[in-house]
A and B are shown apart, each in its own frame.
Chain A
Amino acid sequence: GNSVTQMEGPVTLSEEAFLTINCTYTATGYPSLFWYVQYPGEGLQLLLKATKADDKGSNKGFEATYRKETTSFHLEKGSVQVSDSAVYFCALKAAGNKLTFGGGTRVLVKP
C-alpha cells in the first residue's frame, strides 16, 4: 500500500536558520505530493504541491522538489521565522481521491 515517512520532531531551531524536513514515500503509480501545515490553533492547510517528477512546489519561502529516483519530497526553507512554528505533514495522492499522510513534524522556531 501507499505510505509516507517523514522525520520525527520536534525540530527546534533559531530564527533565520535553514530548515529541512525529510519526506520519503512508497506508492504505486505516479502520485501527486503535498506538504500541509497546521499552525497553532488552526486547521490544516495546503502549503505546496507537485504533481510530477522534477516539479518544484513553492509557497511562503518554502520549496520541495519531487524526486522520483529517490522517492522523496523534502521540504526546505532558507531562513525561518518564529511564525513558521507549526506541524508540517507530507502527503501523497495516488489513484483515487484520498490523501495518505506522514506522521507530521513539529517545528519550533525560537527568536
Chain B
Amino acid sequence: GAGVSQSPSNKVTEKGKDVELRCDPISGHTALYWYRQSLGQGLEFLIYFQGNSAPDKSGLPSDRFSAERTGGSVSTLTIQRTQQEDSAVYLCASSLNSGEQPQHFGDGTRLSIL
C-alpha cells in the first residue's frame, strides 16, 4: 500500500521478554518517527530517523529501548526485558524530509505486557 505500514498490529507477551516492532515508511520518505500512545501519558515522541541515522533519540524512556533503520527504509523498534509499563500503542510516521511534519501515521502496534 501507499501508507505507513506497521507490524504486528497486536502483540501480547510476558513480562521480561524482548519484542520487535516493525515500521515500513512511505516509499521515498527519508524521515521516520516513532511515538507511543498510552493511557495517562498521551502521545509521546520516542525517536526520529533521518536516513539511517537517529539525530534525536531523546524520547526513548530507558536503555531497554533501541531502534534501527536500514537502507533508509524499514525501521525496527526493540524493547528488551519488557515491563508492564511498556504496554501502549506504538506509532510510526514518515515524512518526505526532515523539514516536514508527518502527514499520516501508521495504524500502530498495540503492545500488551502480561
Contacts and interface: CB of A to CB of B under 8 A. Distances in A.
Given A43-B4, A44-B91, A103-B42, A97 B98 contact: yes
A100 B59 CA distance: 11
A108 to B, nearest CB: 19
A59 to B, nearest CB: 11
Nearest to B4: A43
Contacts of A98: 33, 45, 48, 56, 58-59
**Chain A interface size, under 10 / 10 to 19 / 20 to 34 / 35 or more:** 20 to 34
B104 interface: yes
B91 A43 contact: yes
Nearest to B100: A97
A101 interface: yes
Contact of A45 (B31, B55, B59, B104): B104
Contact of A97 (B3, B33, B35, B91): B33
Nearest to A44: B105
Contact of B104 (A46, A93, A104): A46
Interface in A86-111: 89, 91, 93, 96-104
A96 B104 CA distance: 19
Contact of A46 (B91, B98, B103, B107): B103
B45 A99 contact: yes
Contacts of A46: 101-104
| B105, B106, B107: most-surrounded residue (chain A CB, <10 A) | B105
B104 A101 contact: no
